[in-house]
Structure 1
Amino acid sequence: MSFNELKLSTQLLKAIAKRNYESPTPIQEMAIPLVLKNRDVIASAETGTGKTAAFSLPILQLLLNKQGASAKKKRIRALIVSPTRELAQQIHESFTAYGQFTPLKSGVVYGGTGIEPQLTMLKKGIDILVATPGRLLDLHKQDMVHLDHVETLVLDEADLMLDMGFIDDVKKIERLCPSEKQTLLFSATMPFKVVQLADTILKDPEKVAVSPTSSAAATVMQFLCYTPKPNKIELCLYLLRNTIKGNILIFRRTKYGVDKLEKTLLKNNFKVETLHGDKSQAERQEALRKFKNKETNILVATDVAARGLDIDELDAVINFDLPNIPETYVHRIGRTGRAGNTGTAYALCSADEKGYLASIQKLMQKQLEVIEDHPYPLDPKAKPQVHKRKGSKYKKGRKSAASKKKKKRWY
């Protein structure tokens, strides 16, 4: 199928051609016709499958179809709610690129940065608003955002939005929009709480799903290194010095873990930047800028900070900590090997992560290739470390002899 068959206007087809895209991805092929028919859609698709274009192109087309009536006074007619600032920025860039030959205007608002430029942009008037939940509700409270003309509402990365505790905000935003609107929900995974949310706010939705496992498995070579937990940092340094080259994204489970690994890499003269939730917006953007401009070649991040990042030409992904949700592993390795390129992914597995590994391999329906030739192997009989709490040396309820002697009795 080509984009010409999707009933898109010449202005949009011109923008698509400018980006050198020839044919739609599976998610675009399935979702675009449904959105153009004004259907509610619930779509399961990971980042890297082209899902942003799967909603931005048909939304631009729908707004163009009705452009005449509201060309004079611009009102927010499409609202896209996104969990993170980086993702909101990327979605806005996507709308700007695809809509460059149309009279439609889009804007983006998010927290962690000055509110004044955002207020100026809103006063001028826009057709499409991309927003994070917190900043959107702040602006609504100040009477700076009016959602009573929204025709299409998009909830992007719904699973992450709920994981970050935005459920009440999302429901409130949905209620602020007109009841007669089109709602599109995109999510990388479909846990019960996302399905529950969809049931409450979508009307008779069409379901679209793109299997994440097939796309990731096809273009990414995956390797596995068993190693004791205390040796993970040494093994990571060994791989970076001897095996893994180019632009590398390293995933850690916690912010503390990200900072700890950064210190070690800097001590060993590696150029490294980090991303996690405690970083300010300016720090996050600067870290990304340096990585994209190849001023640094290693980026260490938590899953929340790295979700939805559009990084081209990523050579390798290192799973320093294995994720406890197998789908998260698929999303992580999907950062490399995009747009037909090949990539490599390495997983460092300690004894207490073997359960996570089993779930990952079951989901992928393949065994990861084990690298045995490294200096920090794991003893196959090694058991997970169990940290026991040290209790008192005295039995519960018993006092020491010394304590009894000190006791002054009244009789």
Structure 2
Amino acid sequence: MAKRQTPAASEISEETAEIPVEATRKIKKQKVANIPTSTPPTTTISAAPTIAEGSGFLKKHGITVLNAKTIQDPYLTFANIEHLKPSLLKPFKSFDAPTPIQSAVWPYLFNGDDVVGVAKTGSGKTFAFGLPAAKMVRKQSPKQLGILVLVISPTRELAIQTFESFQQFGPKSYVKPVCIYGGVPKGEQRHLLGEADCNVLVATPGRLMDFMEEGVIDLGVVKMVVLDEADRMLSFGFEEDIKRILSAVPSPRQTVMFSATWPMEIRNLANTYLSPSAIRITVGSDELQANTDITQNVEVMTQDAKEGRLLQLLKGQAKTDLVLVFALYKWEVGKLEKLLVQRGYKVASIHGDKAQRDRIASLDSFKTGKTPVLVATDVAARGLDIPEVACVINFTYPLTTEEYCHRIGRTGRAGRKGIAYTFFTVNEKSHAGALVNVLKKANQIVPENLIKFGTTVKRKVNENYGAFVKDVDMSVKGKKTTFDDDDE
């Protein structure tokens, strides 16, 4: 592979409510039967990209690589990847080429480097770390027993979908994933950990800490740790849990972080737990931004006009289109679900009061198109990877513009086009400036009546010093959030 020299750059508390164990069993078995049997992409090695091709690809996709002594050429095709078993390419059989974040990070992750990946939602980051993890497991197993890869996820939904992604590699890969998270009985998960010969553990921080304290989980042979959606985990107040978990994993190890943004808190975490030579790879901007594959429509209206407009938009969708409707509160989800059912729509819902079994059932029904409309609180804003979502409707604007970006990021995934509608009222006028900036950065139309609310972006206010606090790291620790209550 061609290399070119470059100067180094500087650079919830989870639920304890118990539900029947069938939910966990279903997750364990769900994808195994669906592993593709058709011929995977060829592993014949093609010529590595030229220096010009590699540079052009990085420039085209706005990819920056910092702190690398040698810039590795990206993998432009799956055939560029050397020494890869055919079974490891099964999840990619329907893709012509890797996504930009995959192309950029794979050379470094295959090399064993610590990496921070910063990329927008829907960019293919799960397999960006999943394929190198599976390749490492395939090389180590079956001679090495125990948990070799630890993936830490902020939410149950994201953990489950990451687990399902690892299942796609199939039994010939020797990848044996187990998923643990709050909201289900510990007994079933404890049983799986004991019997499944787990070598890839996907976990939420709270449940992982529970099992570590009970002595159920041994992290003594972990070779690779992945912090997925690290910014989200810190916002949930999991920083102390993450520190304790990482302290229990021996060195040397490979540590990988993925995040949609690059705030001071994430930089501090990376500086503490990744090696000084860790490489930061950014696709696009490391600031708050929306996926440019999504057409954003912001409509300023009165509160009373929202239900009528929602019905009008749904009427305009094809019957087979998957539509995700976001509300802010649990009661609001119930109200909208009742309204849409009365109007003849097939609707499912998820929110914090629903048991995990019911959440899984709602998501499965939505994914398969049995109920093509899903009404949800922000509990679903991250972690849902459903490529076929045609449209997102923000019935109520979220509490932050960051959440807005993650909500609409449920459509327009994996290179597909998506559309999002957002109902904006005078009650949300304090968010107008930040929303205008997001729209402008994505080259979207900015409504005149949105600009009338003002374009000033309000600074985050420190609880002790108001808006006059300097933009430095104040080392303020976030409160640990109970996941089921984050949409009260």
Q: What whole-Å deviation, never above 9, does each CA across 1:232-263 have from its counterpart, x for those lacking one?
A: 22322233235676221012233333233223
Unaligned runs of 5+ in 1: 373-377, 384-411
Q: Please report how far the alpha carbon of residue 220 of structure 1 lies from its aligned counterpart in structure 2 after TM superposition.
A: 2.6
The change in CA–CA distance for 1:181 and 1:381 in structure 2 (over 3 A counts) is: closer
The change in CA–CA distance for 1:115 and 1:220 in structure 2 (over 3 A counts) is: same
For residue 182 of structure 2, what is the aligned residue in structure 1?
111
2:198 alignment partner, one of 103, 126, 135: 126
Equivalents in 2 of 1:238, 1:261: separation in Å? 14
Q: How is 1:237-276 mapped onto 2 (pairs within 5 angstroms)?
A: 237-242=311-316, 246-276=321-351
The yes-or-no answer on 1:207 pairing with 2:280 is yes
The change in CA–CA distance for 1:273 and 1:202 in structure 2 (over 3 A counts) is: same
TM-score with structure 2 length normalisation? 0.70
Q: Please report how far the alpha carbon of residue 355 of structure 1 lies from its aligned counterpart in structure 2 after TM superposition.
A: 4.4
The yes-or-no answer on 1:58 pairing with 2:129 is no
Q: Please report how far the alpha carbon of residue 46 of structure 1 lies from its aligned counterpart in structure 2 after TM superposition.
A: 3.2
For residue 2 of structure 1, what is the aligned residue in structure 2?
77
CA RMSD in angstroms comes to 2.7
TM-score with structure 1 length normalisation? 0.82
Equivalents in 1 of 2:342, 2:386: separation in Å? 26
Q: Please report how far the alpha carbon of residue 143 of structure 1 lies from its aligned counterpart in structure 2 after TM superposition.
A: 1.6
Q: Judge conservation of contact 2:121–2:291 (CA < 8 Å) in 1.
A: no
Equivalents in 2 of 1:291, 1:127: separation in Å? 31
Task: Read off the aligned partner of 2:324 and give its amino acid letter.
Answer: L
Unaligned runs of 5+ in 2: 1-75, 455-488
Which protein is richer in helix relative to its size? 1
Q: Judge conservation of contact 1:158–1:187 (CA < 8 Å) in 2.
A: yes
Task: Read off the aligned partner of 2:393 and give its amino acid letter.
Answer: I
Equivalents in 1 of 2:109, 2:198: separation in Å? 21
For residue 102 of structure 1, what is the aligned residue in structure 2?
173
Equivalents in 2 of 1:85, 1:164: separation in Å? 13
Name the % identity: 39
For residue 228 of structure 2, what is the aligned residue in structure 1?
156
For residue 383 of structure 2, what is the aligned residue in structure 1?
308
The yes-or-no answer on 1:46 pairing with 2:120 is yes
1:93 alignment partner, one of 164, 179, 188: 164
Equivalents in 2 of 1:86, 1:315: separation in Å? 20
Q: What whole-Å deviation, never above 9, does each CA across 1:288-308 have from its counterpart, x for those lacking one?
A: 111112221211112232311
Q: Judge conservation of contact 1:160–1:304 (CA < 8 Å) in 2.
A: no
| Deviation larger for 349-358 or 291-300 | 349-358
Q: Judge conservation of contact 1:255–1:276 (CA < 8 Å) in 2.
A: yes
| Deviation larger for 185-194 or 241-250 | 241-250
The change in CA–CA distance for 1:362 and 1:14 in structure 2 (over 3 A counts) is: closer
Equivalents in 1 of 2:453, 2:203: separation in Å? 48
Q: What whole-Å deviation, never above 9, does each CA across 1:43-95 have from its counterpart, x for those lacking one?
A: 1123311100000101111233333642xxx2011100111112111111111
Task: Read off the aligned partner of 1:211 and give its amino acid letter.
Answer: G
Q: Please report how far the alpha carbon of residue 16 of structure 1 lies from its aligned counterpart in structure 2 after TM superposition.
A: 4.1
Equivalents in 2 of 1:200, 1:183: separation in Å? 11
Equivalents in 1 of 2:137, 2:451: separation in Å? 60
For residue 268 of structure 2, what is the aligned residue in structure 1?
196
| Deviation larger for 348-357 or 273-282 | 348-357
Q: Judge conservation of contact 2:120–2:291 (CA < 8 Å) in 1.
A: no
| Deviation larger for 241-250 or 29-38 | 241-250
The change in CA–CA distance for 1:111 and 1:240 in structure 2 (over 3 A counts) is: same
**Secondary structure at the counterpart of residue 308 of structure 2:** helix
The change in CA–CA distance for 1:59 and 1:252 in structure 2 (over 3 A counts) is: same
Q: Judge conservation of contact 1:361–1:368 (CA < 8 Å) in 2.
A: no
Q: Please report how far the alpha carbon of residue 147 of structure 1 lies from its aligned counterpart in structure 2 after TM superposition.
A: 0.7
Q: How is 1:312-331 mapped onto 2 (pairs within 5 angstroms)?
A: 312-331=387-406
Equivalents in 1 of 2:86, 2:379: separation in Å? 35
Equivalents in 2 of 1:37, 1:226: separation in Å? 50
The yes-or-no answer on 1:228 pairing with 2:284 is no
Equivalents in 2 of 1:230, 1:202: separation in Å? 51
2:445 alignment partner, one of 357, 368, 374: 368
Q: Judge conservation of contact 2:88–2:134 (CA < 8 Å) in 1.
A: no
Q: Judge conservation of contact 2:439–2:446 (CA < 8 Å) in 1.
A: no
| Greater Rg by CA | 1
